[in-house]
Amino acid sequence: MDAIRIYGGKCLDGQTRIQGSKNASLPVLAATLLIKGTCEIENCPEISDVYHMLRLLESLGCKVTREGTLVRVNTEQVSECDMPADSVGVMRSSIMLLGALLARVGSVKMDYPGGCVIGARPINLHLQSLRNMGVAVEEGEGGFSACVNRLKGASHRLPFISVGVTENLILAAVLAEGTTVIEPAAGEPEIQTLCEFLQQAGAKIEGIGSDRLTIHGVERLFPVRFRIPADRIVAGTYLAACMCAGGRVFLQDTPRHHMESVLACAGQMGAKLKFEPDGMLVTCRTKPTGCESLVTGCYPAFPTDLQSLFMVVMSVSGRQGWIEETVFENRFRIVPELRKMGADITVYKNRAYVGGRGRLHGAVVQAEELRGGAALVAASLAAEGTSIVTNRHYIDRGYEDIVLSLRELGAEIELA
């Protein structure tokens, strides 16, 4: 059953808890390779991307145990090893293991990572940056190998802001000889979480949250117990779903301080937001008012991961507007599927122009990537009639159980 059936046209009413962050848990799990001993990671989401990361860690000799959202990783026996191609091939973030493995064992061989259809995301900047730290890299048709005696601290002036490259360089630098400087460094909350985990383990990192990170290499790190924060993208997903369908929902553990641009946009589009110590109450009694323009960008700008969801909000608002995508060149893959549901959207270069039709109808649509799949579910909640969203496995990469969570919020939704 790799599909979801949604009976649309019903307002939402209920509450659900926001899971741990996918984009924070993956680099933190990779970072455990740097620490001899057992680390305990709390609030680690039960999603397929985490499953693949844990499988990769096991392939490298780690002992992994899991009790719900608590993951224990023992890295005493990490060894040089080829990682399973099927897990590397389906998960782009496996590339972040490169810096950690070079720091821990000095060599790595892996296939080119996959799992991304929203943009090219070439890894050449990862490899070139690591060469700057003394790494020898040999590239082949299907993969590459890299080796180094000991990583050397270096100054990196990146040609553009990259979350993945920033993460990889942090992981490579914390045990490197000397000092590493990264600029412009990505400032996403997930980068901050990775730095906080490493600091707790004994790393010396300056400039956390800024566009310039300075990392002083240390001789060793120490096992820690660490809690993953709530997922700002999942919270934004259910916020957008409520705006599409209408209703009143409480999102427990919403990380509001990491969502300022999203919450500001939602407020401008008519959502009523009330913040409480344990979460956020969202009330949408009328159709969203839409917005004239929306531009994605690096944090703290509007996140590209929520662009397709707010495209749906704009589609049901009845107001014309446009979205400019500045991060990934292929983020508009959802548009043909939304057109099947009656949306009026035209794409020109990196802009999507959303018409003022304002009504969607049920249809059979296909998810082609993670966030676009979640957006199709949100569109189905707002649509008249029944919809089926196929390729649920894409959605499972980032959502623990989107069907259960939306049922808790009052949706009529089931596996199909």
Q: Residue 118: what residue type? A: I
How many other C-beta atoms can be found within 10 angstroms of the C-beta atom of residue 80? Answer: 14
Choose the catalytic residue: 116, 147, 265, 298. Answer: 116
Residue 333, burial from CB neighbour count under 10 angstroms (0-12, 13-18, 19+):
middle
Q: Is the dihedral of CA 396, 399, 400, 403 positive or negative?
A: negative
DSSP, residue by residue, 121-149: --SHHHHHHHHTTT-EEEE-SSEEEEE-S
Of 174, 244, 215, residue with least CA distance to 32: 174
Q: Does residue 116 carry a catalytic annotation?
A: yes
Q: Which of 29, 358, 12, 25 is nearest to 190 (CA)?
A: 25
Residues 249-268 as b/e (b if ≥16 CB within 10 A, e otherwise) read: bbbebbbbebbebbbebbee
HEC string of 1-61?
Answer: CCEEEEECCCCEEEEEECCECHHHHHHHHHHHHHCCCEEEEECCCCCHHHHHHHHHHHHCC
The pairing of beta strand 247-252 with beta strand 12-17? parallel
Residues tagged active-site? 116
